[in-house]
Structure 1
Amino acid sequence: MNILSRVRQTLQFHLSVVFLILVLTVGSVIGWLTYSRMNDVITEASRNLFSLTSTEAVTGLERLYAPAELAVEIIALHDITRTETLSERLPHMAFLAGFLDQSAALSSVYIGYDDGDFIMLVPTSSDEVRGRYSAPPEAFFVVQSIERSPNGGVRSRYIFLDIAMNILGEREQASFAGYDPRSRPWFEQAKASADQIKTRPYIFFTSQELGQTIALRALGSGATVGADISLDTLAASLRKERITEHTELALFGSDLGMIAHPDKRKVVEVLPPSATGGAPGLGRLSIDHLDGTVLPQVARAAVEAGLTGVDDKTLNDRLAFDGEPWRVQVSPLKVRGSTPYYLAIAVPEAELLVQARQLLQQGGIAIGIILLVSIPITMLVARLVSRPVQALSLEAEKIQQFDFSDPVDVQSFIIEIEDLSRSMGDMKSTIRQFLEINRSISEETDFERLLQTLLEGMGNIVGSEQGAVYLISADDTALEPVAAMGVPVDTLRRHPLNNLPHVLREAIDRDDIRATIIDGEALAVCGGDPGAGKNPERNAMVVPLFNRNNAMIGIMTLVQEAKANTSLIRFVDALSRSAAIALETRQLIASQKALFEAFIRMIADAIDAKSPYTGGHCARVPELTKMLAEAANAADHGPFADLKLTDDDREAIHVAAWLHDCGKVTTPEYVVDKATKLETLYDRIHEIRMRFEVLKRDAEITYWKGVANGDDLKDLVEQRDEQLAALDVDFAFVAECNEGGEFMSPDRLDRLQEIAKRTWTRTLSDRVGISHEELYRKQQTPEPDLPVREPLLADRPEHVLKRRPEDLFAADNPWGFKLDQPEHLYDRGELYNLSIARGTLTAEERYKINDHIVQTIIMLSRLPFPSYLRQVPELAGGHHEKMDGTGYPKRLKGSEMSSFARMMAIADIFEALTAADRPYKKGKTVSVALKIMGFMVKDGHIDAELYDLFLTSRVWADYASRFMKPDQIDEVDVAALRPDKAESRAVG
């Protein structure tokens, strides 16, 4: 470091020296610099990849060895090493089984005793293992036991245990009696060593598998503990670490003997009897036997270099093998009880750097062109600063890609680059923290949770576990606590703005963060407990929160042990402004939602207030719809088991239900409230009465004229009285027809036509003193000369109000309406209205009332709903549709409607049937309303499955208890009202 300190100079100094040297060396350096620069990139990339792969491979192998090493360490200290008989050893099998359960790498654990006794626990994890020991199917473990008596007798047996370590049975095993642990290599090596030992690979006596044993002498007990690791496990671990198809890996010892290889056949070889002097045996292969790979030469170089694994040094090299370059690395593996192990990895460079080579070729062409036109000094400067600048460039790319996971660790001889590296590291850390808390803020949708998330996020940055958030109250008179950290928020007090605590007032007056030492009351204000801890004094940051208009919307306080430095204060200041804007945005969103909600309720209230016949309909239907939707959401079986409401669904249902009748604002009151057939804005029966009065006056005048002329008085009286009586009877009949209480039979219609034939004399013009619109309608026919005789009752052209062309719906209208529209908007003809067969409404007026749902859909479809409320028009506009497709305005069938729209139809019907605030009818009882709805199910009008859910979930009962009069709530036989399955399928 002293040398580095002496040679470090500013970038300006280095560039000055470079420019001087450049004049003499520019010609010879350009070509070499290009190759060196690109080669450095490839070398660095391969080294990084190799380092990562090697680390993962070494770690994986250490994870295999570590459980076995730990197991023998612990077992060597256990009481089992001091037992003398099988009966004393068997209760400890559960203890040994715990190590086998924790590590799949362990194939068995065992203890050999100095008297020749032996006990081993083997898991029967597969059918192959069970077959090897002829174990019963329910056996989970096999205990192999050898007991030697003082007189030289040997008893060997298998004992089978279930998962609860209960003995299932045992079997004498004579072939195992010849096994003496004292003659085994693992026993001998462990007995001669004070630490753990690891054997070379060999064939296990019992399982005949290839593997390695880790053993440890149990001090003071006369026993040796062993654990076996199968070579299959080691081979599988190495196979996972292959980078490319032709990657070579090998684990070997300092004597170059093989320990593990992805192909276990390359670890040992089977020797013939002639080579072993008896039975066939195993010979351990050397890494030199790995023909056709580059591993032998690099392995030998690593051992000669003296890598021990103590200082974490590795051997990295680039070698040529069969004319192909290879990247190789040898890493020492830290093992206990053995000479060093080494992990060798070799990868063909062509496979490792396929894409890098392509980039190298493309970059070489580009660099070649640049070199021809660039100033030569660029190449020399790049040579001096290539590596740190390259590393910083990669870091900059990570920042550009929003990757802030790794710290920046770039060193350089150039002071400016060193400072840049440190600054970039600080910047990366700062941006990461900034983005993390901003992401948390942006992802949180609940305003209260957002405040808590903001407070806790800021607390994590400054190392604070206590704090509070205060926001300006709605009336701008006080600071109200809305979130707290370390203490319950309800323990904080509301502070009037004109009497703020000193610690808050100072921050407001300064319009900036206030960092100070506080205690007592000030500590309690900032969210801390003034009585907690030995030292009540704490450091606090009081952070004013400003919105886009630089107006304060609240204050955040953070209490911590350490004093905040200047850079941290600036960071908190920057983050607090972003957080304040996020808070303001959420407040605005909440305010807009509240405004929208109030607007919805205002429309609904206006509709209910407009007509006394609807009452609280617009308020009750939303409640009933939401109750039915929640019942479907809670269903865990049946047709609605898969229906799960989201918060967006709930809001869409809420809005749609409140606006389901908003189109009624376009329906004239005089149509909705039409009580008689001739009623419009007033009852036109009064005009007809006046005409009858005129005819009665005419009868009187005729009588007196006859008297004046000297006609027969008796005849005059009879004629007058007869005419007056007939007029009274005829008017009484017309008045009765106007009430609409009796069915208009053909004979009544004929009589009405006869009465209409009576005439009366009009002497005044009916085209003066009237509206422009009515005058326009009258002018469709020529005005007759006055006086004129007119029918007593008539359907005149001016009685017809034509429908505007824009009010007609084409078959392919964008809303999908399928309506039988009357030809005229209104027909106010006197005979036409008096001839209404039932009720008081004409076809045109009935269509106008039904038109409210059409206007509802049109009005809502024109509103710019956000995406999660796009279904509102469909939900609100479907409550008059029927399951059989005979409803309006689109004649949708049940399968074409959403579940929520069908729910609203049921809610609308039930509310209408039971509403007790309609002056024209009495609210029905619950049982009657449900029975009527049952008939509607059979007629295919409402959804049978939803009706069944409505019944069985007792939504109707909950609704009745909240909104219906007590005398309307009666007993309901739900079972009798439920639709059967056949009806449900037919309707659906």
Structure 2
Amino acid sequence: MLSQPAQPQPPDLGRRLAKLTSILDVAKAMSAEHDLDLLLPLILFEATKVVEADRCSLFILDRERNELWSKVAQGSKSEIRLPVGSGIAGQVAQTGTVINIPDAYSDPRFNRSFDVSSGYQTKTILCVPMRDAHGEVTGVIQALNKLDGGFNAEDEELLLALGAQAAGAIENALLHEEINRLFEGFVSASVVAIEARDPTTAGHSGRVADLTVTMAQALEHLTTGPYANVRFSAVELQELRYASLLHDFGKVGVREPVLVKAEKLYPHELEGLRARFQLARKDLQLQSYRRRLEAVRIRGDRFLAEIEGEENERLTTELKKLDEVFDFILTCNRPTVLAQGGFERLHELGKLQYSDAHDQAQPLLLPREIQSLSITRGTLSPEERREIESHVEHTYRFLTQIPWTRTLRRVPEIAYAHHEKLDGTGYPRAEKAIPVQSRMMSISDIYDALTASDRPYKKAVPHTLALDILKREADSGQLDKELFTVFVEAEIPRRALHGNKAP
């Protein structure tokens, strides 16, 4: 049996099917687009094509302000806002009914002011409501000037169908924006909390984020080497930025005195030591007065002037030695490396004593003070340094409690590894397999820690010296050598500082 040849479709039916197919295609595209700035032009382009109009406008309903606002309208460069009920679009939003005007200038509802200000001549208007899945009006689409005659019932039906698809897509995009604002607000508040806990590092998290993201963007221009094909999408850059901003959040779990310790002795320890030296001064003076009395008793009053001279000279020498000892201790207290023999002298000074109010001999330097003053690097004891390093664990535990979106799920992992080293000498896990994002953050973190001028326990290191220090760590296999080369050759610090992301 011979098959019948397919019957050609009527021209109108074929055109209608093509438009419906186009609406379905754009619906798929709209559902995948979460950026409102990209979604709205897409909707307008498709609406203009579907109803064969000269131009279109889209207004979103702002229920809180009872206004319609248009972020983008063909033929207008600025945002438009109008009250619900005002103008044709406002009436459609208020009533939820379609308005189809075949002759704009003969309709009293038409406001000619836009035509007057823009020089455009509106002839025909089709304005339809956009409804969400619950049937609620969420905005309106307005088409102007049908290219061939006036808008008909089919145009109304097609624009309503497109509007329903657009309403869902816009709602999703707005929800996506709200989620982004929520995350931005949370991250900003977290950074404020970090800096309030440790004011000495204010701005550090933001600078590390700027440096790291700028370096990630610089990888796009590499054509050779292991990172030639590494590219970060916009959401991956956002993930990297969040991880960089929050990499030190775990410091909220570290004791504040340890966190802000600027010298080897805590302030209260130094004050106690200072008070003991004051007592030692008074003890020297008391011993001097006792010797004066004894000398006068033995040698007689006629030698009083001579005795006074001898004791004044002796007391001055003893007080000078005591002051010199205290100055030496103050030098030891600073986060500097002591000269040769300095630590041995500290232990010798541990033998010094003074007499208290009960004439009991007391040590001038306590064993724990000698131990603290003997710290060879920085201001932290090994126990305190371990407590500071625990901030990475605190950060990871905190970040893993947050229900990150699918695109941001690696934030905890990236932040967790920013103190790891490629040779396995880092912390907290001493792992060698480090995500590239964490490798970049490590370089940025060290550079900013070296060059920051707001640390009370160290002076800022010049840019060139900081690069030399980073180079030594890269050459020794601790930092990623290829990424360090990018950091230097792409001038990441300069570009991050000036916000210039171009090569």
TM range (shorter): 0.7 to 0.9
Indicate which of 388, 391, 395 corresponds to 1:849: 388
Residue of structure 1 in register with 2:465 after alignment? 928
Secondary structure of 1:632's match?
A: helix
Deviations 1:206-242, CA, capped at 9 Å, x for gaps = xxxxxxxxxxxxxxxxxxxxxxxxxxxxxxxxxxxxx
Once residues 631 and 531 of structure 1 are traced to their aligned partners in structure 2, the CA distance between those partners, rounded to angstroms, is 45
Structure 1 gaps of 5+ residues are: 1-46, 57-310, 313-405, 408-427, 763-786, 796-828, 964-988
Residue type at the aligned position of 1:519 = A
Residue type at the aligned position of 1:450 = L
Contact (CA 8 Å) 2:346, 2:370: kept in 1 or not? no
Contact (CA 8 Å) 1:547, 1:584: kept in 2 or not? no
Residue type at the aligned position of 1:645 = F
Deviation at 1:957, TM superposition (A): 5.1
Residue of structure 1 in register with 2:80 after alignment? 494
1:736 equivalent to 2:328? Answer yes
Once residues 667 and 578 of structure 1 are traced to their aligned partners in structure 2, the CA distance between those partners, rounded to angstroms, is 51
Deviation at 1:934, TM superposition (A): 2.1
Indicate which of 225, 229, 242 corresponds to 1:655: 242
Residue of structure 1 in register with 2:413 after alignment? 874
Residue type at the aligned position of 2:38 = R
Once residues 263 and 317 of structure 2 are traced to their aligned partners in structure 1, the CA distance between those partners, rounded to angstroms, is 25
Once residues 460 and 365 of structure 2 are traced to their aligned partners in structure 1, the CA distance between those partners, rounded to angstroms, is 39
Residue of structure 2 in register with 1:139 after alignment? none
1:450 equivalent to 2:46? Answer no
Once residues 723 and 615 of structure 1 are traced to their aligned partners in structure 2, the CA distance between those partners, rounded to angstroms, is 48
Residue of structure 2 in register with 1:621 after alignment? 208
Indicate which of 246, 271, 275 corresponds to 1:690: 275
1:694–1:926 CA distance, 2 compared to 1 (3 A): closer
Structure 2 gaps of 5+ residues are: 11-16, 301-306
Alignment of 1:642-721 (within 5 A): 642-679=229-266, 682-694=267-279, 697=282, 712=297
Structure with the largest fraction of helix: 2
Once residues 376 and 323 of structure 2 are traced to their aligned partners in structure 1, the CA distance between those partners, rounded to angstroms, is 19
TM-score normalised according to structure 1 size: 0.41
Secondary structure of 1:621's match?
A: helix
Residue of structure 2 in register with 1:483 after alignment? 72
Indicate which of 905, 909, 921 corresponds to 2:446: 909
1:952–1:511 CA distance, 2 compared to 1 (3 A): same
Once residues 525 and 714 of structure 1 are traced to their aligned partners in structure 2, the CA distance between those partners, rounded to angstroms, is 114
Alignment of 1:937-976 (within 5 A): 937-956=474-493, 958-959=495-496
Alignment of 1:49-68 (within 5 A): 51=3
Once residues 882 and 654 of structure 1 are traced to their aligned partners in structure 2, the CA distance between those partners, rounded to angstroms, is 21
Alignment of 1:47-196 (within 5 A): 51=3
Residue of structure 1 in register with 2:127 after alignment? 541
Secondary structure of 1:754's match?
A: coil
Once residues 207 and 249 of structure 2 are traced to their aligned partners in structure 1, the CA distance between those partners, rounded to angstroms, is 14
Indicate which of 484, 500, 503 corresponds to 2:88: 503
1:696–1:597 CA distance, 2 compared to 1 (3 A): same
Deviation at 1:956, TM superposition (A): 5.0
Residue of structure 2 in register with 1:594 after alignment? 181
Deviation at 1:790, TM superposition (A): 6.0
1:453–1:670 CA distance, 2 compared to 1 (3 A): same
Residue of structure 2 in register with 1:223 after alignment? none
Contact (CA 8 Å) 1:455, 1:468: kept in 2 or not? yes
Once residues 714 and 579 of structure 1 are traced to their aligned partners in structure 2, the CA distance between those partners, rounded to angstroms, is 111
Residue of structure 1 in register with 2:170 after alignment? 583
TM-score normalised according to structure 2 size: 0.76
Deviation at 1:590, TM superposition (A): 0.4
Deviation at 1:654, TM superposition (A): 1.7
1:898 equivalent to 2:487? Answer no
Secondary structure of 2:268's match?
A: coil
Residue type at the aligned position of 2:325 = F
Contact (CA 8 Å) 1:455, 1:469: kept in 2 or not? yes
Secondary structure of 2:351's match?
A: helix
Deviation at 1:906, TM superposition (A): 1.9
Contact (CA 8 Å) 1:666, 1:852: kept in 2 or not? yes
Deviations 1:133-159, CA, capped at 9 Å, x for gaps = xxxxxxxxxxxxxxxxxxxxxxxxxxx
Once residues 750 and 739 of structure 1 are traced to their aligned partners in structure 2, the CA distance between those partners, rounded to angstroms, is 15
Once residues 515 and 576 of structure 1 are traced to their aligned partners in structure 2, the CA distance between those partners, rounded to angstroms, is 15
Once residues 432 and 546 of structure 1 are traced to their aligned partners in structure 2, the CA distance between those partners, rounded to angstroms, is 21
Greater relative CO, 1 or 2 (CA 8 Å, sep 6+) = 2
Contact (CA 8 Å) 2:419, 2:426: kept in 1 or not? yes
Deviation at 1:481, TM superposition (A): 2.4
1:714–1:454 CA distance, 2 compared to 1 (3 A): farther
1:494–1:624 CA distance, 2 compared to 1 (3 A): same
Deviation at 1:603, TM superposition (A): 2.8
Contact (CA 8 Å) 1:617, 1:911: kept in 2 or not? yes
Alignment of 1:134-283 (within 5 A): none
Once residues 482 and 324 of structure 2 are traced to their aligned partners in structure 1, the CA distance between those partners, rounded to angstroms, is 52
Once residues 699 and 531 of structure 1 are traced to their aligned partners in structure 2, the CA distance between those partners, rounded to angstroms, is 98
Deviation at 1:621, TM superposition (A): 1.8
Secondary structure of 1:556's match?
A: strand
Contact (CA 8 Å) 2:128, 2:159: kept in 1 or not? no
Deviation at 1:653, TM superposition (A): 1.5
Once residues 124 and 402 of structure 2 are traced to their aligned partners in structure 1, the CA distance between those partners, rounded to angstroms, is 54
Residue of structure 1 in register with 2:227 after alignment? 640
Residue of structure 1 in register with 2:348 after alignment? 751
Alignment of 1:424-573 (within 5 A): 436=25, 438-458=27-47, 462=51, 464=53, 466-472=55-61, 476=65, 478-484=67-73, 487-490=74-77, 494-497=80-83, 501-520=86-105, 522=111, 537-543=123-129, 550=136, 553-559=138-144, 560=146, 561-565=149-153
1:668–1:593 CA distance, 2 compared to 1 (3 A): same
Secondary structure of 1:886's match?
A: coil
Residue type at the aligned position of 1:830 = E
1:834–1:700 CA distance, 2 compared to 1 (3 A): same
Residue type at the aligned position of 2:72 = A
Secondary structure of 1:543's match?
A: strand
Deviation at 1:540, TM superposition (A): 1.4
Deviations 1:935-982, CA, capped at 9 Å, x for gaps = 22222121112223334444455346669xxxxxxxxxxxxxxxxxxx
Root-mean-square deviation (CA), in Å?
A: 4.6
Residue of structure 2 in register with 1:297 after alignment? none
Deviation at 1:593, TM superposition (A): 0.5
1:705–1:644 CA distance, 2 compared to 1 (3 A): closer
Once residues 498 and 26 of structure 2 are traced to their aligned partners in structure 1, the CA distance between those partners, rounded to angstroms, is 47
Deviation at 1:647, TM superposition (A): 2.7
Contact (CA 8 Å) 2:262, 2:456: kept in 1 or not? no
Contact (CA 8 Å) 1:625, 1:657: kept in 2 or not? yes
Residue of structure 2 in register with 1:760 after alignment? 356
1:652–1:714 CA distance, 2 compared to 1 (3 A): farther
Residue of structure 2 in register with 1:883 after alignment? 422
Once residues 923 and 474 of structure 1 are traced to their aligned partners in structure 2, the CA distance between those partners, rounded to angstroms, is 52
1:666–1:899 CA distance, 2 compared to 1 (3 A): same
**Percent identity between the aligned chains?**
26
Residue type at the aligned position of 1:556 = I
Once residues 286 and 451 of structure 2 are traced to their aligned partners in structure 1, the CA distance between those partners, rounded to angstroms, is 57
Once residues 497 and 22 of structure 2 are traced to their aligned partners in structure 1, the CA distance between those partners, rounded to angstroms, is 54
Deviation at 1:612, TM superposition (A): 5.1
Contact (CA 8 Å) 2:128, 2:142: kept in 1 or not? yes
Once residues 729 and 545 of structure 1 are traced to their aligned partners in structure 2, the CA distance between those partners, rounded to angstroms, is 88
Residue of structure 1 in register with 2:303 after alignment? none
Once residues 440 and 271 of structure 2 are traced to their aligned partners in structure 1, the CA distance between those partners, rounded to angstroms, is 46
Residue type at the aligned position of 1:642 = N
1:890–1:576 CA distance, 2 compared to 1 (3 A): same
